[in-house]
A and B are shown apart, each in its own frame.
Chain A
Amino acid sequence: MNANVNGNAAAKIARLWNWLPIKHGASSATETTANRSVPSPFWIIVRKEFGDHLRSWRFGILIGLITLACIGSIYTAVTALQAGVKTQETDTSFLFLQMFTASDGTLPNFTTFVMFLGPLIGISLGFDAINSERNKGTLSRLLSQPIYRDDFIRAKFTASLLLIAVVLFALGFLVMGLGLFTIGYPPTPEEVLRVILFLLVAVVYVGFWLNLSLLFSIRFRQAATSALSGIALWIFFSLFYSMIMGLIDKATAPGDSSALSLLLRHANMMLFLNRLSPSFLFTELTTTLLTPGVRSLGPLTTAQVVGAIASPLPLGQSILLAWPQLVGLLAATMICFGISYALFMRQEIRSRS
C-alpha cells in the first residue's frame, strides 16, 4: 500500500520532470528499455547534492548568519519607517518596498545585506564542488557511470542554485510577512511583483558568484585555494573596487568649469568602469526595482529633466531601465559557466590527482 503510494508519487514527479524544459539527458531518449519512472542521472545528482547541502554544517551556519542579518535589517527598517512616518519625512507611496531599502543608519538595509552576504552563500556552496569530489576519489567513480560530463557540472550548479533560490525567497517572504505584522500596511500587487523580481535578481546575482566559485573549484585542485580566490574577489568587488574607482574618479575628473560634454564623458566613463563590478550592477538593479522613483541610472542634465513630472515609474519602465544590468549579470554568469565547462570537458579525470 505504502509502496504503491510512493510509486504513484514517483511517477508524478517523473512526469513533472519530463515536463520541465531542461534536457533530460539523451540517455533517457536512447535507452528505450529504461524504466520511465527513473529520473535522468542529471536529476539524481541534483537531488543528492541538494540533500548534501541541506545536511551540511556549512549551510546551517550560513543560514544562521544571514537570517540574523535579515532580522537586524528588518528591525532598522521598521524603526526608520515608524520614525519617518511620524515626522512626515517618509514618502508614504510604496511604503512597503521601503521595508527592503530603508534604514535608520545603525544597520544596513536588506538589499545591502543581500549584496554583501549573497556572494558568501554562492562562494561557500560552490568553492569545493568539483575539487573535493576529485580529492575524495569520487569523481572518477562518478564519471565512469553512464552520465555526461556536462550533466555533472550542470547538476552541481542547478542544485546549489535551487537552494539559493529557496533561501532567498524564504528570506524575502519572511521580511514581507514581518513587515505586514509590524507596519500593518498591505502591499499592492505591483509591490509584490517588484519584490519577487528583486528576489529573482538576487538569485541571479548569487548565481554569478556560485558560478565563479564553481569555476575556481574546477581550476584549482585545492579547496582552500579555490575558496580564498573566491573570497578575495568578493572582498575586492565589495570593498576595494569602489575605493579604487573613487581614486580614479579624483585623478581623472575634469575641472568644475569644464565643458558639459567633457563632464558627461567623464561621468559615463566612471559609470562604465563601475559597472564592471557585479555588486554595482546588482545595486543598480535593486534600486531601480525597489525604488520606483528612480528614473535614470546615468547622469541627467537639467535640460533633460525640465518638464518631467516627478512621479514613480510604472513597473514595466523600471524593468526596462534595469534590463541592461540584468543582461550584464547574466552574461557574466554565462561567461564563468562557459569557461568552467570548457575546462572541465577537457580535463583528464584521474583518481585523487
Chain B
Amino acid sequence: METATAPIIELKQLKKKYGDHVAVGGLNLTIRQGEIFGLLGPNGAGKTTTILMLLGLTEPTSGSARVCGLDPTRQPLQIKRRVGYMPDDVGFYEDRTALDNLIFTAQLNQIPRQEAYRLAEQLLERVGLGEVAGKKVGAFSRGMRQRLGIADVLIKRPNVIILDEPTLGIDPEGVRELLQLIHDLSRREGLTVLLSSHHLHQVQQICDRVGLFVRGELIAFGDVPSLAKQLDQEGLITVELEASGFSDAALSELSTLEDVVEVRGSVQQGDTETTTVTLLGKRDLTTEAAGIVIQSGAQLQSIRRKQYGLDEIYHRYFEGGGLA
C-alpha cells in the first residue's frame, strides 16, 4: 500500500547553512500523496527553514528538493500554485474583512472575482467563520486567525498544504477543533499535509507519520508505534502494576523473575491501599507478573504494558541519545 502512492515531496541530502551555522544538515525525507506528516522538533531545529526551502522562499546550500515533481529553486511559481503554505503566526490585512483577505489571495492565484467570492464564502463557512466574514480581521482572536489561515491556504485548491506551527497559541479546545478540521480535510480531499510543531500530543493525534527534527537533522521518523520501537532498542519493556494488599514477598519474587532489570516501587506496611509498581524487563513480563501478584493474594487492580508516547520519545532523543 505504501509503495502504491507516489512521493509528493522528496528531499535528498538537503542542506542549508547560514555562515558556519548549519540550519538543516543533509535531510532525506519522502512524503507520499494523501499523508499527514508531522515535523516535530524544538524551536530552532530547522523546521521552518526546511519549509521555506520547499517553497523556494530560500535557497538550499546543497542537495535537492522535489515538490510535486518540481524543483523549488527553479520553478517556485508552479510549486506555489500547488502548495498552500500557512506561516507560523500568520498575518492578515487587519483593516480588511476576512472575505476581502481571502478574495485577494484567490485573485493572486488567478481565480476570477466571482468565483473567488463564492469559494471564499464556502471556505469561511467550512472553517466556522461564516458569521464574521464581513468583519475586519483586526478584531479576530488568535484561533479565528488560524482558521482563517486554513481557509486562505485552501482557497487556491492546493494539492499539498504546509502548516507551520498551526496550533501555536490557541486554547486546547481550539487546537482540538483545528486539528480535527485539518484531519477531515486531508481525508476527504486527499490533501497531503505537512505540519510542523513542537507540541507532541497534538501531532500524535492526527499524523500518519512523524519526523523528529533536532538541530538540523532528522533523527528518527515513522509512525508513532515504529518510533516507539526505535526507542525500545535497548530492549526494555515497562510494565506497570497497580495492586492493593501487596506483600514484600511478592515484590521480591517479582524481582527474581527471569529477565527483570529493575523493580520500582515499595510496599507500605500493613497496607490495604493501592501500590504502584513499575517493572522493567528485557521481554514482555506482563503475564508472569500478573500471575505472581495474584498468587501472593494481592488484589490486582490494573496491569498494563506501557506504550511509549511521543513525549518519552521526544524527551529521550532530546536528552542527547539521538545526537550522540
Contacts and interface: CB of A to CB of B under 8 A. Distances in A.
A14 to B, nearest CB: 10
Contact of A352 (B58, B86, B89): B89
Interface string A136-150: 111111111111100
Given A136-B94, A146-B81, A348-B52, A38 B89 contact: no
A351 interface: yes
Interface string A35-66: 10111010011001000100100000000000
Interface in B36-78: 48, 52, 55, 57-58, 77-78
A3 to B, nearest CB: 7
A146 B57 contact: no
A34 B115 CA distance: 13
B88 interface: yes
Interface in B70-105: 77-78, 80-81, 83-95, 104-105
Contacts of B84: 144
B77 A27 contact: yes
B91 A44 contact: no
Contacts of A52: 93, 95
B104 A48 contact: yes
B316 interface: no
Contacts of A147: 77, 80, 108
B110 A38 contact: yes
Contact of A144 (B57, B78, B92): B57
A144 B85 contact: yes
A141 B52 contact: no
Interface centre among B105, B109, B152 (most CB of A within 10 A): B109
Contacts of B108: 41, 44-45, 142, 145-147
Interface residues on B, range: 35 or more
Nearest to B111: A38
A38 B112 contact: yes
A34 B52 contact: no
A350 interface: yes
Contacts of A28: 110
A27 B110 contact: yes
Given A38-B107, A145-B156, A55 B95 contact: yes
A3 B114 contact: yes
Contacts of A145: 80, 105, 108-109, 156
15 contacts: A31-B110, A38-B107, A38-B110, A44-B104, A48-B104, A52-B93, A137-B90, A140-B85, A140-B87, A141-B149, A141-B152, A145-B80, A145-B105, A146-B80, A146-B108
Q: Closest 6 CB pairs between A and B?
A: A137-B91, A351-B87, A144-B85, A136-B91, A146-B80, A140-B87
